[in-house]
Amino acid sequence: MSKESTSTVTPPTGVPENRVEVTKTTTPQSHWRADTEASLVVFLVALPLSLGIAVASGAPVVAGIIAAVIGGIVCGLIGGAPLQVTGPAAGLTAVVAGLVAEHGWRVTCLITVMAGLVQIGFGLTKVARAALAISPAVVHGMLAGIGLTIVVGQLHVLLGAKSPSSALQSMTQLPGEVIGLHTASALLGLGTIALTLLWPHMVAYLGPLRTVPAPLASVTLMTLASLPFTVERVDLPGNLLSAVQLPELPDTAWVSVGIGVLTVALVASVETLLSAVAVDKMHEGRRADLDRELIGQGSANILSGLAGGLPVTGVIVRSATNVRAGARTKWSAVLHSVWVALFSVVLVSVVMRIPLSVLAGLLVVIGLGLVNLGHLRSAHRHGEAAVWVATLAGVLLLNLLEGVVVGLVVALGFAARRSILAKVEVVSPADEPDGTWRVVLAGTVTFVSLPSLARRLSAVPAGAPVKVELEVDYLDQAASEHLLDWVEEHRRGGGSVSVWEQGAPVLSELISGGKARKARNLDDGSSGSAAPWDHGLVEISSNVPADPGETLDRVRVLDGVGSFHDRLGPRMRGVLHDLREGQSPCTLFITCADSRVVPNLITHSGPGDLFTVRNVGNLVPVRPSDPGDSTVAAVEYAVGVLGVKTIAVCGHSGCGAMRALLEPDGDLGGALPGWLVHAQDSLHRFRDQGGTDDTDRLAQLNVIAQLGHLMEHPLVRSRVEAGSLELVGMFFDIGEAEVRVLEPVTGEFDLPAGV
């Protein structure tokens, strides 16, 4: 290859180079303005929520403020999710309310401390990812159950009454509360609900007020509207420190306390992890360290409990607000807690003006937001709607822990059912164009599935032609024997049966002693290894033709067409439909006609990606020696009309054309000697390097020579020199399943960078 040609051969485009990630040092000062502005927005959302959650939990109102201050500062500084905001969460409201009712507030504070210790243990043992293994249907059903518990409980407060201790009591007593409602409280609560829901749709017309969060706007406006009325309001002492209640040990019921500790720790951890994962999807900054985040959450809960505050979690509402407000670092979460503390100390009298029914209305909206019907639809698509419903019902009618256990049991039941019960489907000839009955078995087929399998197979009439399609990953002895016995019996009754394995060769590997053979495992020297595109015909011994190899080889292409229509065609229809008007490939791929070289497979590409030319020896005639050659015509069409950006020439190991070059005295005959003339310069270079019998090295030198032939075409040369076309040399080692790329400087073929 000439020096000029060598300089034009470049590594392929799209091959990843050594990736270097540059991490810029971020300081609080560099994002001070953005974090300060975001913290103010989060503060305006967090304050009313913290107050409302404390009231709904049956805790002192100051406990919500303590939790918001400690959670934001402690977890903001040492947690692993920089943009997540920590504070009291609606998801723990039902849990805390139950603990307060059973043990009192001060013991609940102790439970919060101990739950924090458990969370630190979770973080140190690096089990954060394991917590995410809980079925999403269970988690979302739990959140929906918590949401409805909040709703039915706060409706009592909204109507001017006290919230019962359980959701079941709330539902049964609610009709009576409606009859005796406190009109002013009800109107204020309903007004809060309406304003919270409508505010996002009104902000476009509110000018400077558009930046005010909906919770703050609704609480502020409805508090102002409540001033002329006598309604129950937030009870907050003038000196907040005097209202702090420290934790104490329980007199008895340590088992119940232990259960409460685990419940708080698990629920808080799961909600935190789900929130952290969701927040990661909302920004492009540093990803969350989930184990470190659990350590931060645990530390915050220890301090919050010791100070008489509510348990805290990472809260998605505040975190999403933080991201949308433009926060850059953890200092936004820290600052929001500072603003909560300052407001609570300086403006205690303002907080005491807020009606409880207004906070109840805000919590009703939050509770309804936890009931996400999109999660139910997603669970239904995955066949787990019953898990979602069972968890919700358990949380609502029993309690949170028992409801989650119910959901987990149902989820495990569905998983076990899918694992042990196979899909068995019988399709009648009325639905098949060729009049053949189809029996489809999919999944794990064991003795448990035998009743269903036997019942479905009995629907096939005697003497009918049948095609059995196996898409199984496991077939136990009982199921395989029953299936084979049925095949033999049906054939004795005059019917024809063909058994096909789609994918893994499960049945054919179970059958031994020549009773059956796979179409891919004939005695032709092939290894018989399974491949995804294998048609998978299994021949049962009693019906093996006299020359099965000849029969199978003759129909294999037609069988493949049928398999395409059955399996791949429906999935590819959308892609091929988009290509119906034309093609715009990125690469002209010139390779050998050898059946072992599959261009789309070794380049991991699909329809429309490659404009492929295959010939014996992946040769490119030198133009204009043979201007009518189809390969040259394909090059001109690909470059001049289709505008490909890359031309790849790919040789391979064990090439028969290269062997024919080395053994010219063999019985070549016909057109082959004349065609191999285009590889003579490859052979000369091979001889000059002292080569004798290394066909693979000759194949590599032939790739380089054919790249030189391409450069002698004026159209190719002009595009390469203009920088709009690249030439790539490749060598496919069949035995090693490796594609090596030509390095222009050394002339050697190596694995691409990053492999």
pLDDT tens, position by position, 398-452: 877 788 889 889 998 888 877 777 788 888 776 556 678 888 888 888 888 888 8
pLDDT (tens digit per residue) in 155-172: 888 888 877 767 777 788
- Give the span between the Cα atoms of 71 and 46, in whole angstroms: 12
- Residue in the block written with tokens 């129950």: 232
Q: How many CA atoms lie within 13 A of 674 on its CB side?
A: 6
- Give the span between the Cα atoms of 725 and 587, in whole angstroms: 10
Q: Classify residue 134 as left (phi > 0), alpha (psi -120 to 50) or beta.
A: beta
pLDDT at 305: 93
Helices assigned H by DSSP within 180-213: 183-202
CA distances from 56 to 96, 150, 171 (A): 9, 8, 16
Residues 204, 242: contact at Cβ < 8 Å?
Answer: no
Q: What is the CA radius of gyration of the chain?
A: 36
Residue 539 pLDDT greater than 90, yes or no: no
Burial class (CB in 10 A: 0-12, 13-18, 19+), 488: middle
pLDDT (tens digit per residue) in 115-127: 999 999 999 998 8
pLDDT (tens digit per residue) in 295-349: 999 999 999 999 999 999 998 778 877 887 788 889 999 999 999 988 888 877 7
pLDDT at 436: 83
Predicted confidence band of residue 523 (pLDDT cuts 50, 70, 90): very low
Sign of CA dihedral 349, 355, 360, 361: negative
pLDDT (tens digit per residue) in 560-609: 776 677 667 777 888 888 888 889 999 999 999 999 999 999 999 989 99
Kindly report which listed range (62-71, 473-482, 515-524) carries the lowest average pLDDT score. 515-524
pLDDT at 95: 87
Residues 53, 315: contact at Cβ < 8 Å?
Answer: no
Q: Which pair of tokens denotes residue 116?
A: 């924090």
Residues 293, 52: contact at Cβ < 8 Å?
Answer: no
Hey, which residues does 424 pair with through a beta bridge? 441
Average pLDDT over residues 75-102: 89
How are strands ordered across the β-sheet holding 466-475?
Answer: 423-427, 437-445, 466-475, 497-501, 537-540, 516-518
Q: Which residue has the higher pLDDT, 339 or 205?
A: 339
Amino acid letter, residue 681: D
pLDDT at 433: 60
Residue 10 pLDDT greater than 60, yes or no: no
Q: Classify residue 287 as left (phi > 0), alpha (psi -120 to 50) or beta.
A: beta
Q: Which pair of tokens denotes residue 532?
A: 């995804």
Q: Which residue has the higher pLDDT, 539 or 508?
A: 508
Q: Find out whether the peptide bond into 228 is cis, omega within 30 degrees of 0.
A: no
Q: Residue 732: CB partners within 8 Å, gap ≥ 6?
A: 591, 597, 602, 650, 651, 652, 653, 738, 739, 740
Helices assigned H by DSSP within 281-315: 290-306
Which stretch, 49-53, 315-319, 746-750, has highest mean pLDDT? 746-750
Hey, which residues does 727 pair with through a beta bridge? 9, 647
Which letter does DSSP use for residue 149 in this model?
A: H
Q: Give the mean pLDDT of the chain.
A: 82
Hey, which residues does 726 pair with through a beta bridge? 646
Predicted confidence band of residue 29 (pLDDT cuts 50, 70, 90): low
Q: Residue 198: CB partners within 8 Å, gap ≥ 6?
A: none
CA 631 to chain CA mean position, Å? 44
Residue 630 pLDDT greater than 70, yes or no: yes
Residue 547 pLDDT greater than 50, yes or no: no
**Strand pairing report for 738-743 and 748-750:** antiparallel
- Give the span between the Cα atoms of 643 and 634, in whole angstroms: 12
Amino acid letter, residue 392: L
pLDDT at 550: 44
Q: Residue 520: CB partners within 8 Å, gap ≥ 6?
A: 526, 528, 529, 530, 531, 534, 535, 536
pLDDT (tens digit per residue) in 166-201: 777 778 888 887 877 778 888 999 999 999 899 888
The size of the chain, in residues, is: 755
Q: Which pair of tokens denotes residue 305?
A: 């409990």
Closest CA to 67 of 349, 441, 442, 336: 336
The angle at the Cα of 356, spanning 355 to 362, to the nearest 5 degrees, equals 100
Residue 108 pLDDT greater than 90, yes or no: yes
Residues 596, 734: contact at Cβ < 8 Å?
Answer: yes
pLDDT at 38: 83
pLDDT at 521: 41
Hey, which residues does 478 pair with through a beta bridge? none
Under DSSP, is residue 18 helix (H, G, I), strand (E, B) or coil? coil
The angle at the Cα of 326, spanning 321 to 330, to the nearest 5 degrees, equals 80
Q: Which residue has the higher pLDDT, 258 or 239?
A: 258
- Give the span between the Cα atoms of 127 and 104, in whole angstroms: 31
Residue 240 pLDDT greater than 80, yes or no: no
Burial class (CB in 10 A: 0-12, 13-18, 19+), 531: exposed
The angle at the Cα of 401, spanning 399 to 403, to the nearest 5 degrees, equals 65
Q: What is the per-residue DSSP string for 104-130?
A: -HHHHHHHHHHHHHHHHHHHHTT-HHH
pLDDT (tens digit per residue) in 262-280: 999 988 998 888 788 778 8
Closest CA to 507 of 533, 476, 485: 476
pLDDT at 746: 87
pLDDT at 544: 39
Residue 203 pLDDT greater than 80, yes or no: no
pLDDT (tens digit per residue) in 374-406: 889 988 888 889 999 999 999 888 877 788 889
Kindly report which listed range (317-321, 487-491, 733-737) carries the lowest average pLDDT score. 317-321
Sign of CA dihedral 550, 553, 555, 559: positive
